[in-house]
Amino acid sequence: MNHEVIISCAVTGDDTKVTKSPHCAVTPAQIAATSIAAAQAGAAIVHIHVRDPETGAFSMETRHYREVVKIIRESGVDVIVNLTCGMGGYIVVGDKGLADTPGPGSDFVSQEDRMRHVIDLCHEGIYRPDIATLDCGSLNFGDGNRAYVSTPNYLRQGAAILKELKVKPELEVFDTGNLWFVKQMIKEGLLEAPSLIQLCAGIPYGVPADVAHLLAMVNSLPADCNWGTFAISRMQMPWVAQAVLLGGNVRVGLEDNLYLSKGVYASNAQLVEKARTIIEAMGARVLSPAEARERLQLR
């Protein structure tokens, strides 16, 4: 069991389904505000995507990330900022192969372009993130023809970029093979210890959200790492308890689940508060951002 738990809050994500919630943050000011509220509720880390303020669709624009981080930093509320680098990996394949591929909805770009906002903010030096994500493998995303493509060489390049920028990678693991490649990157010296690993469960068609699969991945983790896990939708809160029992940290937030209870939309702060209640009822303690920085050995 983990007696000192880091809570991460994934505040909005990129899925258009999130926008049906009245609590979905869209503008940079809204995303910053919900991140600050999550931190005040007990989240040590906020995981951030940005959206087009006009349409609500996902965005990769550096200027939106800059504004979000600026507002958070200038608020005086301490929280670790974790920016996604996951956008730009979707390919929708056509039924006729290369003749109609890529199809509408594809956003596939180079690894460097997926990380452009992090590179820009680090080079500017004012609003650099503490953490940035790497999605550690390719995955069939849902039932149709959409796939997320993240190849070994793309990931090697991403890890090298973050190492040069001195930004901690959070390694997003959606299936067992993803974890296998994380250990390969450690072997190749691309990742500095302790690595930071997020085990992502219940996303079709990655690893299912059941205890046997989670335990198998936990038993396969590299020796020197900090790890957390989450499951989506109604499994979010049961997964909080499961993570703590198995020795990990937790993630909640609207990216993964919209509801506080059946039919009741949640805010990010409410989800963090509920997770904190579960953690403390189990006899564990929630770590502050300062304590989480020390645990994760952030620069």
Query: For the segment 273-288, what is each residue's pLDDT rounded down to a tens digit?
Result: 999 999 999 999 999 9
Cα gap 221→205, rounded to integer Å: 21
Domains for the chain: give ranges and CATH numbers: 4-85+115-135+149-296 (3.20.20.70)
Beta bridge partners of 104: none
Per-residue pLDDT averaged across 42-68, rounded?
95
Residue 142 is predicted with a pLDDT of: 81
- Would residue 297 be called left, alpha or beta, if left means φ above 0 and alpha means ψ between -120 and 50 degrees? left
Cα gap 119→112, rounded to integer Å: 8
Q: How confident is the model at residue 16 (pLDDT cuts 50, 70, 90)?
A: confident
Whether residue 67 contacts residue 32, with contact meaning beta carbons closer than 8 Å, is answered with yes
Mean pLDDT of the residues in the chain: 96
Residue 18 is predicted with a pLDDT of: 80
**Whether residue 22 has pLDDT greater than 80:** yes
pLDDT in tens, 204-263: 999 999 999 999 999 999 999 999 999 999 999 999 999 999 999 999 999 999 999 999
Q: Give the number of other CB atoms < 10 A from CB of residue 164.
A: 10
Say how many Å lie between the first and final Cα of the chain, rounded: 27
- Would residue 88 be called left, alpha or beta, if left means φ above 0 and alpha means ψ between -120 and 50 degrees? left
Whether residue 250 contacts residue 239, with contact meaning beta carbons closer than 8 Å, is answered with yes
Ranking 73-87, 135-149, 282-296 by mean pLDDT, the lowest is 135-149
**Whether residue 299 has pLDDT greater than 80:** no
pTM: 0.96
Residue 38 is predicted with a pLDDT of: 98
Residue 20 is predicted with a pLDDT of: 87
Whether residue 276 contacts residue 268, with contact meaning beta carbons closer than 8 Å, is answered with no
pLDDT in tens, 59-98: 999 999 999 999 999 999 999 999 999 999 999 999 999 9
Whether residue 249 contacts residue 223, with contact meaning beta carbons closer than 8 Å, is answered with no
Q: Which of 64, 134, 148, 65 is nearest to 105 (CA)?
A: 148
